[in-house]
Amino acid sequence: MTQRSNPLALIAEITHRCPLHCVYCSNPLELISRPEELATADWLRVFREASALGVLHLHLTGGEPLSRPDLAAMIEGARKSRLYTNLITSGIGLSLERLTQLVESGLDHIQLSFQDSGEDQANWIAGARAHAHKLELAGWIRDLRPPIAFTTNLVVHRQNIGHLEEMIAALEALHPDRMEIAHAQYYGWALQNRSALLPTRAQLDRAVAVVAAAEERLRGKVRIDMVIPDYHARFPKACMGGWGRQLLLIDPAGRALPCHAAGVIPGMRFDNVREHTLDWIWQNSDAFQKFRGEDWMPEPCRSCDRRQEDFGGCRCQAFLLTGDASATDPVCELAPLHHIVEDAVREDATPGSTPEAREAPFHVLQEQMAGFWSYRTDPK
């Protein structure tokens, strides 16, 4: 029997509704609609159960969590359950008054997304006029007394990687405590748009050097955390810190998933917090057992020295790229099916394989690049 640790973080996708339509959104292609969403009281119970289970961090995300009018009540409930509460947001719909209310409810950390440094290009990627408000909001966040932790999150890809220095400088001017520089991960909408988003190897190498220089320059001022696109890596990422090991995600309808993308794997049965306690789900739910530990591993993972480090990589990516969720993550250079990733890189990530956006007004970009990528839709 596999030894079970307790989960450390709960990712609460409280809604899939979102005013942004980012082309790399990690939400599933089939979004959950408003009438299916869990009620406030259900969430507050989930937070209490999470805390009792040993969870320390709560990440309130979506969709756009601000779409839920009861967000302040959720933050208050989470703090009463002694969870460290992080709001992952586009900032759209957040007035100074509501920000103050959320902070007074006990919010510890706010993570504000940015799409680019230039307004037109940022709006083009988000499919919405959002950038100007984000800048104003960043000022309000920084002026809070007492301060809360402030992270800016920037998703990096083919269409903005060329001016990463400018983007870092623009974010630095907002005085965050922390910057997340996250290369798009190819699930959901990003996989759909991969050929427009996957950077070339040379672009990635340059970006890694740019981030290393920024880390050095900003040491002690801004903490930088970077996520690289695993298609260019030699070994897979330790996805979610291992399946059913540290994290659990509850989707807007209350289904408990081991990660954001697990819904794509056919034949999985996800238990719902409307019917089971979180403790029961963590211990017993088939979905959490499925790839927990090492029993499921094929060779070369089963006898690999790295199996305690990367846990065989990502199950969802294995399914999405090979059709078999139990296969070694094809990102791994040791994977029998590694050629799938090599082919994808050759097709989607070579110089000239896709147009790269130039500077132009938002509406011009939208018109000239119509059909270039699919924007994430919005559920009812």
Partner 1 sequence: MAREIVAELVDLSIPKFAAGCRWGGTAEAPVVLFPEGAIRVEGTGRIILELCDGHFSLAEIVQKLEAQFMLAPKGKVRADVQTFLEQLHAKRIIDY
Number of residues that bind partner 1 (CB under 8 A): 27
Closer residue to partner 1 in complex, CB, 210/222: 222
Q: How far is the CB of 214 from partner 1 (least distance, A)?
A: 14
C-beta separation of 8 from 51 below 8 A: no
Instruction: Extract the tokens encoding 100.
Output: 């103050």
Question: Is residue 84 part of the contact set for partner 1 (CB under 8 A)?
Answer: yes
The site string for partner 1 over 113-152 (x = CB under 8 A, - otherwise) reads --------------------------x--xx--xxxxxx-
Sign of the alpha-carbon torsion through 282, 286, 288, 292:
positive
Which range of residues in 60-68, 69-77, 80-88, 348-356 is near partner 1 by CB under 8 A?
A: 80-88
Q: How far is the CB of 94 from partner 1 (least distance, A)?
A: 17
Q: For residues 66 and 92, what is the distance between their CA atoms, to the nearest angstrom?
A: 8
Other residues' Cβ atoms within 10 Å of the Cβ of residue 289: 17
Closer residue to partner 1 in complex, CB, 78/125: 78
Three-class DSSP category at 252: coil
Question: Is residue 96 part of the contact set for partner 1 (CB under 8 A)?
Answer: no
* Closest among 326, 324, 294 to 310, alpha carbons compared: 294
Which range of residues in 22-30, 222-230, 258-266, 327-335 is near partner 1 by CB under 8 A?
A: 222-230
Out of 82, 346, 358, 363, the residue judged to bind partner 1 by CB under 8 A: 82
Q: For residues 62 and 27, what is the distance between their CA atoms, to the nearest angstrom?
A: 8
- Within 8 A by CB and 6+ apart from 316, the residues are 187, 239, 259, 261, 262, 264, 265, 325
Site for partner 1 in 161-220 (CB under 8 A): 175, 177-178, 219-220
Out of 61, 89, 90, 111, the residue judged to bind partner 1 by CB under 8 A: 111
Closer residue to partner 1 in complex, CB, 89/151: 151
Closer residue to partner 1 in complex, CB, 150/270: 150
Closer residue to partner 1 in complex, CB, 128/148: 148
Q: How far is the CB of 147 from partner 1 (least distance, A)?
A: 4
Question: Is residue 87 part of the contact set for partner 1 (CB under 8 A)?
Answer: no
Closer residue to partner 1 in complex, CB, 139/351: 139
Say if strands 223-227 and 178-183 run parallel, antiparallel, or are unpaired: parallel
Closer residue to partner 1 in complex, CB, 78/301: 78
326 CB burial (10 A radius; 0-12, 13-18, 19+): middle
Out of 205, 225, 295, 333, the residue judged to bind partner 1 by CB under 8 A: 225
C-beta separation of 56 from 12 below 8 A: no
Q: For residues 302 and 307, what is the distance between their CA atoms, to the nearest angstrom?
A: 7
- Provide the angle, in degrees to the nearest 10, between the axes of the packed helices 131-142 and 119-126: 110
Closer residue to partner 1 in complex, CB, 128/228: 228
Q: For residues 262 and 316, what is the distance between their CA atoms, to the nearest angstrom?
A: 6
Which residues make up the interface to partner 1 (CB under 8 A)? 8, 56-57, 82, 84, 86, 108-109, 111, 139, 142-143, 146-151, 175, 177-178, 219-223, 225
